[in-house]
């Protein structure tokens, strides 16, 4: 089979004759999560074929994008063969039958050291078992094929790793993919895998999803399993999912969540103003106005003291991260990336009463947010200030001065993380570099929020951007 542009396609890209719903194609056709599983269950493709194709795609494209730290070929082919054997025996291999995926390099993978992006842990004792999320995905038939690049110990917003290098944005290799889950986002945007897992403390899924033009979830705090995930800030840490459609997010989310809860609908959307509309690039300002018009001219609401909420999130992050690493820093500080080490040391020096004050402000800011949610069901805010920053000029403008992107891309995500609210980041249907917005709901309304994202996708207001390596197989 051949792609529409005459490039010879592999099974992974050509098995479905139409592109996935909502995906703007800039290369070959690519199958989504549901399409891969359907192709395997129907016998159109084998799981082994899908896995081999994904591994080949990584081998060809990763030297440029640098999203993958390790491929798990032996394990992946063994697991894929098991899925095919179940099908041959008339058994149901699960809702994600044969779908290849990758995980941020802070999930435990049995037999491998969990590096958390740190060179100092590359020879650590191997994990004895898979993380709980990986176990659930495996039971559903999904095939883990790779671990993915990240900022060291998840402390950064750009995925510039001192040991594994910079992950580059598949849409412009001179730009960052975002972080700290940049490898996961880039792997999905580059077509290496249909979905990937990441983690989000202050925006580490939402920011790379926005910059790479794909969908991403940050759940209600504590609702997805954290067992077997290297910690950073226990008050804020969550795992989440990257995919190329809202429907694919919902499929994977249901498996990782482990529940079959009903999906309701949300209405009454509004834009967050004030802090969330300051310091935006013109492209983002125009995109938000266009989205508002398409949704019937949304009302704009403001939250008080957002700057205090962001500062509190910063303090909690620094304090908990610093205390977590204090013993290791005392033992061998030079084994850390200097950019990470200095921030952790500063956090470890913060006094307890400042940390307690930051925690206590959650009740104040939470009450303000609850008042807004009494009148609106979905709040819409930018995920980042604008398009991905250039790697050679790693700064963003804040209040008229250039600030380091690595520490400041979370300007609009940190105040939301502070309250542990569920968020789905969706890619806007815009020209040029990708732009994404956060869809924010009350705690526990994760599934309804995914449905709201799907409705926006059905209307063509949000759509993933796929840039795939052209590989002749």
Domain boundaries, the chain: 1-473
Beta carbons of 35 and 19 less than 8 angstroms apart: no
At residue 468, the pLDDT reads 65
- Report the mean per-residue pLDDT for the chain: 92
Query: Could you write out the DSSP letters of every residue in 37-60?
Result: HHHHHTTSS-HHHHHHHHHHHHHH
| Long-range pairs of 75-83 with CB within 8 A, sequence gap ≥ 24 | 75/144, 76/51, 76/100, 76/143, 76/144, 76/145, 77/48, 77/51, 77/52, 79/138, 79/143, 79/144, 80/46, 80/47, 80/48, 80/50, 80/51, 80/143, 81/47, 81/48, 83/40, 83/47, 83/141, 83/143
At residue 264, the pLDDT reads 76
Contacts of 133 (CB under 8 A, 6+ apart): 103, 107, 197, 224, 225, 228, 229, 239, 256
Tell me phi and psi for residue 47, to 5 degrees.
-60, -35
At residue 466, the pLDDT reads 74
- Active-site residue, from 21, 104, 132, 218: 104
Is residue 119 over pLDDT 80? yes
Indicate the range of 54-58, 260-264, 403-407 predicted with least confidence: 260-264
Is residue 25 over pLDDT 70? no
For the chain, what percent of residues have pLDDT higher than 90?
90
At residue 10, the pLDDT reads 43
| Sign, Cα dihedral of 305, 310, 315, 320 | positive
- Active-site residue, from 41, 46, 52, 180: 180
Q: Which among 439, 437, 438, 420 has a CA at the least distance from the CA of 429? A: 437
How many CB atoms within 10 Å of residue 317?
26
At residue 306, the pLDDT reads 98
Is residue 294 over pLDDT 80? yes
147-168 mean pLDDT: 97
Is residue 228 over pLDDT 50? yes
21-41 mean pLDDT: 73
- Active-site residue, from 46, 184, 199, 204: 204
Is residue 2 over pLDDT 80? no
Type and span of the H or E element at 319 = helix 306-332
- Burial pattern 370-390, b for ≥16 Cβ within 10 A else e, equals eeebeebbbbbbbbbbbbbbe
In the block, residue with structure tokens 């202050």: 202
At residue 117, the pLDDT reads 98
Distance, CA of 14 to chain centre: 26
Burial of 113 (0-12, 13-18, 19+ CB in 10 A): middle
At residue 26, the pLDDT reads 38
At residue 6, the pLDDT reads 27
For the chain, what percent of residues have pLDDT higher than 70?
92
- Could you tell me which residue, 11 or 150, shows the higher pLDDT? 150
Count of positions (residues) in the chain: 473
Encode pLDDT of 212-226 as tens digits.
Answer: 999 999 999 999 999
276-294 mean pLDDT: 98
Encode pLDDT of 253-271 as tens digits.
Answer: 999 999 766 667 788 999 9
29-49 mean pLDDT: 93
Q: Which among 99, 91, 114, 122 has a CA at the least distance from the CA of 46? A: 99
At residue 262, the pLDDT reads 63
3-state secondary structure of 139: helix
At residue 265, the pLDDT reads 77
163-176 mean pLDDT: 97
Is residue 251 over pLDDT 50? yes
At residue 29, the pLDDT reads 57
At residue 52, the pLDDT reads 97
Encode pLDDT of 317-358 as tens digits.
Answer: 999 999 999 999 999 999 999 999 999 999 999 999 999 999
Distance, CA of 79 to chain centre: 25
Could you tell me where the beta strands, DSSP code E, fall in 118-265? 143-148, 160-161, 165-166, 168-169, 172-176, 195-200, 215-218, 238-243
Q: Can you tell me the distance from the alpha carbon of 318 to that of 29, in angstroms, rounded to the nearest whole number?
A: 43
Q: Residue 415 has which token pair?
A: 């105040």
Is residue 8 over pLDDT 50? no
- The model's pTM: 0.94
1-473 has which CATH code?
3.90.1300.10
Q: Does residue 104 carry a catalytic annotation?
A: yes
Beta carbons of 13 and 468 less than 8 angstroms apart: yes
At residue 311, the pLDDT reads 97
Q: Can you tell me the distance from the alpha carbon of 14 to that of 28, in angstroms, rounded to the nearest whole number?
A: 8
């Amino acid at each position: 089979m051949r792609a529409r542009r005459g490039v010879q396609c592999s099974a992974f890209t050509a098995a479905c004759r139409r592109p996935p719903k909502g995906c703007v194609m800039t290369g070959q056709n690519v199958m989504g999560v549901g399409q891969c599983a359907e192709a395997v269950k129907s016998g159109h493709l084998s799981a082994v074929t899908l896995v081999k194709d994904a591994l080949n795609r990584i081998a060809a494209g990763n030297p440029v994008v640098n999203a993958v730290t390790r491929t798990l070929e032996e394990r992946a082919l063994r697991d894929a063969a098991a899925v095919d054997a179940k099908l041959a025996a008339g058994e149901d291999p699960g809702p994600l039958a044969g779908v290849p995926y990758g995980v941020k390099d802070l999930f435990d993978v049995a037999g491998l050291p969990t590096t958390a992006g740190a060179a100092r842990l590359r020879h650590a004792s191997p994990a004895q078992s898979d993380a709980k999320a990986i176990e659930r995905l495996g039971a559903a038939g999904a095939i883990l094929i790779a671990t993915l690049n990240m900022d060291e110990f998840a402390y950064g917003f750009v995925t510039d790793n001192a040991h594994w290098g910079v992950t580059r944005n598949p849409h412009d290799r001179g730009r960052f993919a975002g972080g700290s889950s940049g490898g996961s986002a880039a792997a999905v945007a580059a077509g290496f895998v249909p979905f990937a897992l990441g983690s989000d403390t202050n925006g580490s899924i939402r920011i790379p999803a926005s910059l790479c033009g794909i969908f991403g979830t940050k759940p209600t705090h504590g609702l997805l399993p954290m067992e077997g995930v290297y910690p950073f800030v226990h008050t804020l840490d969550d795992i989440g999912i990257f995919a190329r459609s809202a429907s694919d997010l919902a499929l994977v989310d249901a498996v990782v969540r482990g529940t079959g809860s009903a999906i309701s609908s949300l209405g009454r959307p509004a834009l967050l103003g004030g802090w969330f509309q300051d310091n935006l690039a013109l492209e983002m300002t125009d995109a938000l106005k266009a989205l508002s018009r398409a949704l019937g001219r949304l009302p704009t609401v403001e939250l008080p003291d957002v700057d205090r909420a962001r500062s509190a999130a910063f303090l909690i992050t620094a304090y908990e991260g610093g205390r977590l690493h204090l013993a290791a820093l005392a033992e061998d500080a030079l084994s850390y990336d200097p950019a990470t080490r200095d921030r952790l040391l500063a956090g470890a020096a913060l006094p307890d009463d400042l940390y307690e004050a930051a925690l206590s402000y959650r009740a104040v800011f939470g009450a303000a947010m609850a008042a807004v949610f009494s009148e609106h069901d979905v709040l819409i805010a930018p995920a980042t200030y604008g398009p991905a920053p250039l790697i050679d000029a790693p700064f963003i403008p804040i209040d008229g001065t250039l600030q380091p992107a690595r520490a400041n891309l979370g300007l609009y995500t940190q105040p939301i993380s502070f309250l542990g609210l569920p968020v789905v980041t969706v890619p806007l249907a815009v020209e040029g570099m990708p732009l994404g917005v956060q869809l924010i709901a009350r705690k526990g309304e994760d599934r309804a929020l995914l449905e709201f994202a799907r409705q926006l996708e059905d209307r063509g207001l949000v759509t993933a951007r796929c840039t795939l390596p052209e590989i002749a197989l």
